[in-house]
Chain A
Amino acid sequence: MPSIEVNQLQKTFQSKRKAAGLAGSMRALFRPEYNSIEAVRRLSFQMEAGELLGFIGPNGAGKSTTIKMLTGILHPTAGDAKVLGFVPWKDRQKLAYHIGTVFGQRPQLWYHLPAVDTFLLFGKIFEMDDRETKKRIAFLSEAFEIQDLLETPVRKLSLGQRMRCEVAASLLHRPKLILLDEPSIGLDVVAKQHIRDAIKTMAQEENVGVLLTSHDAGDLEALCRRVIIINHGQIVYEDKVSNLKRKFLTRKLVEVRYAEEVPVDFSLEGVEILKVGHYGVKLRFDTTKTPVDAVMSHLSEAGELVDITVADPPLEEVIAKIYEQARRAETQA
């Protein structure tokens, strides 16, 4: 059974419109005008039990609104959704026993209390036995390496430490599904890696489904097998992460170093030379237009190679390209 089924889900917000200045404010007071904002537009997708699904898009794409509808906080304007067999906005409390949530920008741990107090409180709220709660806290504190942090008031923790505690708290009641909304926002590289590793391990060990929203492509690469990219409340791309890479990571960046000075007239059709130095060259080419072996043999013929690096462009660039294509298609339509 799929853990999430979304069918033609829609959410429209009414936003008050107000012209600039005092006159505009007075007009808005007596004759308010509203703009309809379609945050989510006829969204349909499925997520299988235990799946790691990335739900990504730029700011304002409708990611968080979708998550909030899937947890039952927001009522949709139209459409249906089922999460673990429940209609979220009708069975919000029943569903809450089976899901965990982390909203990266909003803390759920009590700010002035040590994290362990919130863990114990959540244990009570989720109606767990005291012994089971303590056992679970011990297990999660080891998995997330937070043993030394649990008794420190949350306000004294760094953002990275706090986020590890936040994610661990969301897993306390053994949810079947966790919805992570921007869990790595604002974290440094090391803290991000820490969080990703812990989530991945927990998801694999406990077969927890993970729906992850992020605008960080690194989260997606590290955690998810499948990705849905949304923009303006609609799906613009849906596929496996590996396919996404294969289809869109066709441009390669190559950097080589020679034992001697390279010829100044170094050139090859279909290859863009980015930088030429005395002993090295940096170039970019599209594998669908110029075969890799042609580039490689040309490079090795030019002189004695001492070093070579081949890199994919960052996934951010790929996603930006997908947004751009979607935008162009929308403009043409």
Chain B
Amino acid sequence: MKKVAKYWFIFQTTLVNSLAYPGELIGRSLMIIPFMWIFFQLWKVTFDASGSDVINGLTLRDTLWYLMMAETIELGRPQLARTISENIKDGSIAYLLNKPYDFMLYQLSNAMGETIFRAFFNAIFGGVTVWFLVGAPAHPEGFIIALPAILGAWVLHFCVNAMIGLLAFGLEDVSAFTWIYQKLAFIFGGLLVPLDFYPQWLQVISKAMPFASTVYGPSRLFVSPTLELFVNVMLLQIIWIVILGFCLTLMYRRGLTQLTVNGG
């Protein structure tokens, strides 16, 4: 029990720590307001031009609420790869590794603690903006149903980001890889355009990749909370978490033997 309780406490401590500068936290979250306004203008023109209220199963209102959720997941997630890379560059990894916990579970608890308030404020500001622009979501209960998928998305984000971060054990600076990952998530995850609007062949490719489980899956579930979709999204997420979690464990074990610590 105590072995599990420590990770819960690490999560709580990070949660409290993330409130150290509330002004910065809230200020940063306000960025979602112009994002949503721009999305509204873009998609309004698109829907008007199409002459239809529904494109591939999504209305303008669905699209905006989908994008609000996608942005909340993306903007809320912690910059874990950068954190691990900085821990290695400044040598603080020495402290993080010599405590009796699993380093990866420590990082996961930490990452989740950092995410909650950031995501909360993004959801509040984004939600109010979208509500004002297109009205209430068609299925408010979608939020509750999508919640496990949102948490799963962050766990998946964690796995990929931790792997990129672990590259720092050998490379030290990993900013190029985080940049590539972010852009791939933009395109194949459906962060700017819901995957439903892609041509069929690209939809098949995108949905088969893990990026779709990090953004598209939970956001789509939020606007169309059906049991079938819930099962699909969760199953796919679990498969990816198992595969990437396994790769992460292997990489971590290998990385430990290669670690060099800066500053003597």
- Contact across chains for B264 and A63 when beta carbons are under 8 A apart: yes
Query: Could you give 10 example pairs across A and B, Cβ below 8 Å?
Result: A63-B264, A68-B94, A73-B97, A73-B98, A93-B101, A93-B102, A96-B98, A99-B98, A103-B95, A127-B2
Give bound CA distance, A34 to B90, whole Å. Answer: 22
User: Which A residues lie within 8 Å of B99 (CB)?
Assistant: 96, 122, 125
Contact with A121, one of B9, B21, B93, B256 (Cβ below 8 angstroms): B9
Q: Mark B8-36, 1 if CB is under 8 A from A, else 0.
A: 01100100110011000000000000000
CB of B208, distance to nearest CB on chain A (Å): 35
Please give the distance in Å from A170's CB to the nearest CB on chain B.
10
Q: Kindly name the residue among B21, B94, B259 whose own CB sees the greatest number of chain A CB atoms within 10 A.
A: B94
Is A207's CB within 8 Å of the partner chain B? Answer: no
B90 touches A106 (CB 8 A): yes
Residue numbers of B with Cβ under 8 A of A are: 2-3, 5-6, 9-10, 13, 16-17, 20-21, 90-95, 97-102, 256-257, 259-261, 263-264
B203 to chain A, nearest CB (A): 39
Which stretch of A107-115, A216-224, A253-261, A268-276 is in the interface?
Answer: A107-115
Q: Which A residues lie within 8 Å of B101 (CB)?
A: 93, 125
Whether B94 contacts A103 by the Cβ 8 Å rule is yes
Of all A-B residue pairs in the complex, the 10 with the closest CB atoms, nearest first, are: A112-B20, A64-B264, A124-B9, A127-B2, A96-B100, A108-B95, A71-B98, A124-B6, A73-B97, A121-B13
Taking Cβ atoms with an 8 Å cutoff, the residues of A that contact B are 13, 59-60, 63-65, 68, 71-75, 92-94, 96-97, 99, 101, 103, 105-108, 110, 112-113, 117, 120-122, 124-127, 153
A106 contact from B6, B91, B100, Cβ within 8 A: B91
Q: How many residue pairs at the A-B interface have CB separations less than 8 Å?
A: 86
Inter-chain CA distance A156–B116, complex, in Å, is: 26
Q: Give the residue of B17, B91, B100, B260 whose beta carbon is less than 8 angstroms from that of A110.
A: B17
CA distance A64 to B95 in the complex (A): 13
Q: How far is the CB of B200 from chain A (nearest CB, A)?
A: 42
In the complex, what residues of A have CB within 8 A of residue B94's CB?
Answer: 68, 71, 73, 101, 103, 106
* Whole-angstrom CA separation of A107 from B91 in the bound complex: 10
B21: nearest residue on chain A (CB-CB)? A112
Do A124 and B5 touch across chains, with their CB atoms under 8 A apart? yes
Residue on A with the closest CB to B259? A74
Are A127 and B95 in touch, CB under 8 angstroms? no
A contact residues around B261 at 8 Å (CB): 64, 68, 73-74
Give 5 A-B pairs besides A64-B263, A65-B264 with Cβ atoms closer than 8 angstroms. Answer: A73-B93, A73-B259, A101-B98, A103-B95, A113-B16
A contact residues around B98 at 8 Å (CB): 71-73, 92, 96, 99, 101
Query: In the assembly, what is the distance between CA of A112 and CA of B260, in Å?
Result: 27
Per the bound structure, the CA–CA distance linking A120 and B12 in Å amounts to: 11
**Of B5, B92, B260, most A-chain CB atoms within 10 Å:** B260
Least Cβ distance of B30 to chain A in Å?
22
Interchain CA distance A127-B5 in the complex, whole Å: 9
Highest count of chain A CB atoms <10 Å: which of B90, B98, B99, B256: B98
Q: Which residue of B lies closest to A60 (CB)?
A: B264
The answer on a CB contact under 8 Å between A125 and B6 is yes
Name the CB-closest residue of B to A15. B260
- Which residues on the A side are within 8 Å of B91 (C-beta)? 103, 105-106
A72 CA to B100 CA in the complex, in Å? 12
Which residues of chain B come closer than 8 Å to A59, judged between CB atoms?
A: 264
C-alpha spacing A223/B245, complex, angstroms: 47
Q: A96-B100, A101-B95 are in contact. Are A13 and B260 (CB under 8 A)?
A: yes
How far, in whole Å, are A195 and B11 apart by their CA atoms in the complex? 32
